[in-house]
Amino acid sequence: MTGLLTRRGLLGRGAAGFAAVAFPGLAAARRAAPKTTAVFRLDPRSERCGGGVGACAACVAHDANSVFPSMKAAKGNRAHNGCDCCVVAGTLHYGTYVSLFGNPDHLKRYRADLRDHRTQALLKQHAPQFPK
């Protein structure tokens, strides 16, 4: 192989080498798990806090239909004064989180109502996951 190396040949070999290295990495990145972030809800039936003994109808209705972007938002948006529902952490797809609440550094909303049609449409593909 004593041929002359031209600029076109050099670029062709460089592109082929780059493709051989880059494409397997891109394919692996696509197969990786989707990025998730933490979301919170209030649990009126938790054994740790009120244990469901003091959970009133307002707590049950509010907690079943609310998701919060942060622990602080969950603690600050209780159904009533004296509410002893526990704050429970879960996960949500990052893109859905941004659509519901805005950028995590600059939140636009501090509560998502699960009865809202917009919220239901967003959560149809990626529902929040909470421990049982």
C-alpha separations of 37 from 48, 96, 97, 98 in Å: 24, 10, 7, 10
- Residue 130, φ and ψ in degrees, nearest 5: -120, 150
Q: How confident is the model at residue 20 (pLDDT cuts 50, 70, 90)?
A: low
Per residue in 66-116, pLDDT tens? 999 999 999 998 888 888 888 999 999 999 999 999 998 899 999 999 999
Where do the domains of the chain lie? 36-123
